[in-house]
Amino acid sequence: MKIHNFSAGPAILPQYVLEASAAAVQDFANSGLSILEMSHRSKEIVAVMEEAEKLVKELLHLGDDYAVLFLTGGASSQFYMVPMNLLNEGEKGCYIDTGAWSAKAIKEVSNFGQVEALASSKETTYNYIPKDWTLPSDAKYLHITSNNTIYGTQYHDMPNPDCMLIADMSSEIFSRNFDATQFDLIYAGAQKNLGPAGTTLVIVKKEILGKVQRTVPTMLDYQTHIKKASAFNTPPVYPIYVCLLTLRWLQAKGGVAAMEAINKQKAALLYDEIDRNPIFKGTAAVEDRSMMNVTFVANNKAHEAAFMEYCTANGISGIKGHRSVGGFRASIYNAMPQESVAFLVELMQNFKPE
């Protein structure tokens, strides 16, 4: 039976990526060595790092004024690295609270400067993107979580503040067109739409760094990793290689613009069924619905267990909603084929609760 992987993360990867990464474990680049055994200083691995950086910049149309880093610690480490590297004591970082991850990011800022949450949708279980907020004149930066994996909401119009703009794009990076040069720093955990767990992509405008007065620990200073091309210490070589394979796959598909067109089709297919089918209803505000994480519930909660069993019996994996909200969540990242979305829709149409 074919398994359709709708997991929110670690998430589905393209078949080409799985096959090529598996082969590299046995013999990488005809070296006779596994990629797991090779020095990160070897010419083969240096080439991997350089190509991965190059493809990120090409796909997002970025110039040399931006640095591309592959770090460890997950996106959660960026919650404190961002204010540590960008805020002096007394300076203010502003945040829009759209979910669990933005709330965790907000919690870290007061260790390094002032923090102000300009708006929040917490009172309605984060089911919309707040739009009625005012940026204070003393804001050093504005931080957003552009796609909210748990709650299924997404920014469709990016803010354009009169300060630095920072974004956690963990669950939507490379899924749609946007002006990356509008942002001063973007970070994304790889394990949702780029690769496996183990590395985190950071894209940062070089000119914003080196301006804080505090001493930043060496390993937590973005400039350390820029100077050493993400290899100050031994980087997570294998996860970065899998990211490189995914970037190659994405480029071969036609890049971000082509992927956006495909993702819109997949999302429309599933949302149309949710809106049509009287058994289900979506949980996110229609105007803020995510193309990556589709959240929905059964109108009759008693039907949810039966639908989950029906999905499992038919090869649907990872569709259970986050434990904090329940219901269902279909994560339809770049690597999710439209055929799998169509299969889920067919199951929804055929489901007959007792």
* Whether residue 206 lies in the annotated active site: no
Could you tell me if 271 and 157 lie in one domain?
Answer: no
For residue 323, what pLDDT is reported? 87
Domain containing residue 72:
15-252
105 and 133 together in one domain: yes
Name the region of 187 (left: φ>0; alpha: ψ -120 to 50; beta: rest).
beta
Tell me which of 92, 140, 192, 320 is the catalytic residue: 192
Angle between helical axes of 43-60 and 237-252 (0-180°, round to 10): 40
Residues 177 and 303 in one domain: no
- Distance between CA atoms of residues 302 and 12, nearest Å: 29
The rounded distance, in Å, linking the Cα atoms of 187 and 190 is 9
CA 222, CA 225: separation in Å to the nearest integer?
5
Q: Are residues 122 and 238 in the same domain?
A: yes
Write out pLDDT tens, residues 133-153: 999 999 999 999 999 999 999
Distance set, CA 78 to CA 33, 188, 220 (Å): 33, 9, 9
**pLDDT, tens digit (0-9, with 9 covering 90-100), for 214-230:** 999 999 999 999 999 99
Helices (H), the chain: 15-26, 43-60, 74-86, 100-109, 222-227, 237-252, 255-276, 304-313, 338-350
Question: Are 195 and 246 contacting, i.e. CB atoms less than 8 angstroms apart?
Answer: yes
Instruction: Compute the distance between CA of residue 312 and CA of residue 213 in angstroms, rounded to an integer.
Output: 54
Same-domain check for residues 233 and 176? yes
- Asked if the model's pLDDT at residue 44 lies above 90, the reply is yes
- Give the Cα separation of 265 and 291 in Å (integer): 9
Dump pLDDT digits (tens) for 216-274: 999 999 999 999 999 999 999 999 999 999 999 999 999 999 999 999 999 999 999 99
For residue 160, what pLDDT is reported? 96
Average pLDDT, the chain: 97
CA distances from residue 46 to 42, 52, 53, 215, 226 in whole angstroms, order as listed: 6, 10, 11, 30, 14
Provide the 3-class DSSP secondary structure of residue 94: strand
Same structural domain, 190 and 91: yes
Domain boundary among 230, 252, 274: 252
- Catalytic hit among 97, 168, 184, 288: 168
Q: Please count the structural domains in the chain.
A: 2
Segment 22-44 mean pLDDT: 97
Distance CA 146, CA 322 (A): 18
Question: With contact defined as beta carbons under 8 Å apart, do 316 and 6 qualify?
Answer: yes
Name 290's Cβ contacts closer than 8 Å, sequence gap at least 6: 147, 148, 152, 153, 154, 172, 267, 284
Is 80 in the same domain as 138?
Answer: yes
- Alpha-carbon span 212 to 86, nearest angstrom: 6
Out of 252, 277, 298, a domain closes at 252
Predicted confidence at residue 169, as pLDDT, reads: 98
Rounded to 10 degrees, the C-alpha dihedral 53/56/61/62 comes to: -40
CA 338 to chain centre: 20
Torsion angle, CA of 204/261/149/178, rounded to 10 degrees? 30
Instruction: Kindly state whether residues 210 and 321 are assigned to the same domain.
Output: no
- Residue 146 has a CB neighbour count (10 Å cut-off) of 25
Is 249 designated active site?
no
Q: Which of 92, 97, 101, 320 is catalytic?
A: 101
Span 308-336, average pLDDT: 96
Assigned token pair, 41: 């200083």
**Residue 131: per-residue pLDDT:** 95
Q: Where does a domain end: 183, 218, 252?
A: 252
- Give the neighbor-by-neighbor strand order of the sheet with 293-298: 280-282, 293-298, 328-331
Shared domain check, 297 and 220? no
Residues 20 and 128 in one domain: yes
Note if 133 is an active site residue.
Answer: no
* Amino acid 354: pLDDT: 79
Closest Cα partner for 115 from 100, 96, 93, 140?
93
* CATH number assigned to the domain comprising residue 335: 3.90.1150.10
- The residue-averaged pLDDT of 306-325 equals 96
Single-letter amino acid code for the residue at 211: K
Let me know whether 48 and 101 are in one domain. Answer: yes
63: domain CATH number is 3.40.640.10
The answer, yes or no, to whether residue 324 has pLDDT greater than 90, is: no
- State whether 259 and 307 are in the same domain: yes
